[in-house]
């Protein structure tokens, strides 16, 4: 099904994966897919960082999930390092394979200089191309704290509103306070955009993870930092992990109370934390 149709039916539950690069990663992913399938996901999404090899891995995984018929699959697309004709061909290949859901993203700046050249400047252009090529359901990214490359929050919201107006729904970068989602959706409504915005969820399970998350445009609030530090003093890394999952579960419960259209979990290809959160919420 199309993701926008799933959102019209009711609350969605979705999981995000990345394509494996080795046999070991493949084994981990296969185990996670099997375990998370028991949670009856509405759809799953597969990321893509750029480059021919990564593009093929994403295509292979998305089409394999789609062909299996158990769950709807969504493919990530990025602007960075792509020509229009190249992306047009990729979209046609997805359409031919029966994949109708795509996520149009700007993409991270590439590690390799050869990937810097692109015919696209903004994700909006990728949304427009998908509309030209086929009958896709198109999702876009949203940053509750503002995109890391935005100059200010007000202009960030204006650009997001333009992008989301052309798309069907959005998925946010992970965040840690329900008020951030409420503020984001409220500011979009003030700009006359009321498309569904799915909150992205990723628990903080290590102290080192807080710094990495901040570098991705998702600062961990001081109250959560203090809470995890206290857990570390009580019981070390295991206690930090437990407290991080409890905090993420509390966040999800608050978001459900506000009326979110669904929950989107960043799994990092492992199922344990996501299963624990979903079990606490929906059992």
pLDDT digit string, tens, across residues 185-242: 999 999 999 999 999 999 999 999 888 888 887 889 999 999 999 999 999 999 999 9
What element of type H or E holds 198? strand 197-201
How far apart, in whole angstroms, are the C-alpha atoms of residue 22 and residue 245?
28
| Residue 132, both tokens | 């030209």
Q: Is a pLDDT exceeding 60 seen at residue 133?
A: yes
The DSSP letter of residue 220 is P
For 254, half-sphere exposure in the C-beta direction (CA atoms, 13 angstrom radius) is 16
Question: How far is residue 242 from each of residues 105, 203, 225, measured CA to CA in Å?
Answer: 32, 10, 14
Q: Is a pLDDT exceeding 90 seen at residue 123?
A: yes
Q: Is a pLDDT exceeding 60 seen at residue 16?
A: yes
SS (H, E, C) 39-87: CCCCEEEECCCCCHHHHHHHHHHHHHHHHHCCCEEEEEEECCCCCHHHH
Mean pLDDT, the chain, integer: 92
Question: How far is residue 224 from each of residues 4, 207, 261, measured CA to CA in Å?
Answer: 33, 11, 25
Radius of gyration (C-alpha) of the chain in whole angstroms: 18
| Site of tokens 């990663």 | 25
Check which CATH number belongs to the domain holding 130 and give it. Answer: 3.20.20.220
pLDDT recorded at residue 109: 55
pLDDT recorded at residue 118: 78
pLDDT recorded at residue 214: 83
Q: Are 197 and 142 in contact (CB under 8 A)?
A: yes
Q: pTM value?
A: 0.94
Q: Are 25 and 268 in contact (CB under 8 A)?
A: no
pLDDT recorded at residue 111: 52
Count of structural domains within the chain:
1
Average pLDDT value for residue range 55-62: 91
Task: For residue 205, give its domain range.
Answer: 3-282
Q: Are 156 and 146 in contact (CB under 8 A)?
A: yes
What are the catalytic residues? 16
pLDDT recorded at residue 32: 92
């Amino acid at each position: 099904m199309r993701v926008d149709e799933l959102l019209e039916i009711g609350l969605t539950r979705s999981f995000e994966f990345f394509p494996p690069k080795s046999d070991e990663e493949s084994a981990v992913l296969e185990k996670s897919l099997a375990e998370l399938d028991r949670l009856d996901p509405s759809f799953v999404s597969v990321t893509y960082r750029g480059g021919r090899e990564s593009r093929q891995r994403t295509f292979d995984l998305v089409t394999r999930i789609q062909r299996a018929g158990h769950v709807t699959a969504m493919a990530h697309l990025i602007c960075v390092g792509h020509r229009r004709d190249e992306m047009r061909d990729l979209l046609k290949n997805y359409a031919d394979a029966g994949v109708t859901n795509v996520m149009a993203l700007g993409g991270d700046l590439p590690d390799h200089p050869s990937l810097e050249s692109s015919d696209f400047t903004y994700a909006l252009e990728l949304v427009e191309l998908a509309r030209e090529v086929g009958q896709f359901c198109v999702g876009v990214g949203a940053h509750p704290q503002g995109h890391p490359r935005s100059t200010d929050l007000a202009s960030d919201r204006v650009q997001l509103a333009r992008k989301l107006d052309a798309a069907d729904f959005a998925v946010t970068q992970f965040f840690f306070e329900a008020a951030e989602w409420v503020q984001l959706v409220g500011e979009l409504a003030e700009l006359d955009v009321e498309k569904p915005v799915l909150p992205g969820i990723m628990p903080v399970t290590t102290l080192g993870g807080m710094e990495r998350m901040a570098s991705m445009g998702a600062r961990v609030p001081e109250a959560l930092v203090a809470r995890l530090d206290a857990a570390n003093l009580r019981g070390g890394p295991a206690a930090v992990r437990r407290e991080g999952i409890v905090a993420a579960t509390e966040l999800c419960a608050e978001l459900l109370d506000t009326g979110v259209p669904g929950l989107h979990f960043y799994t990092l290809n492992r199922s344990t934390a996501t299963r624990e959160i979903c079990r606490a919420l929906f059992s």
